[in-house]
Amino acid sequence: MLRRKALFFLIVVLFAQGLRAASPNLDAAQVLIAAGHFKRAGAILETRVKLNPQDARAACLLAQVKIAFEDLDAALTFAQRAVTLDVSNPKYHYQLARVYGEMASRASFFAAASLARKFKYELDAALALDPRSPSEIRLLNLTFCRLSVSASRILGL
């Protein structure tokens, strides 16, 4: 009986170590994204999200990778998941706003109007949580300006 308990304990410990080894480091994925290695980062993040679907940071980073590959529907899914899992993190709201902005810039005029409202809502939510985030604000302001220019061209203004 004691041997069975010891064997069971050993199996549990080895299984836990295997999960820890299989769980990729998010910092490594973030470095890969910053270096432009989106394919390698995507592989790490896909594994991470499969192992832990409740990981908001991995979902947000995977949304960045999906944007790089112009898979905006998947990026939207992961960005929304990140915001749902951690509503209080402004970076996740910025990421979701970025996805909405990218989708709006490629959408028809009427669809772009709806997406632009969602973009502004997420941007406002992020700014309410963290009013001092200049790099994200600049990025999203550029996206918003691009949307405004596109709308002006369509309307003939």
User: When comparing pLDDT for 46 and 138, which is higher?
Assistant: 46
pTM of the complete model? 0.73
The phi-psi region of residue 10 (left if phi > 0; otherwise alpha if psi is between -120 and 50; otherwise beta) is alpha
pLDDT at 147: 56
pLDDT tens figures, 9-27: 545 444 445 444 444 588 8
- What residue ranges define each of the domains in the chain, with the CATH number in brackets? 2-155 (1.25.40.10)
Q: What is the mean pLDDT of residues 65-89?
A: 95
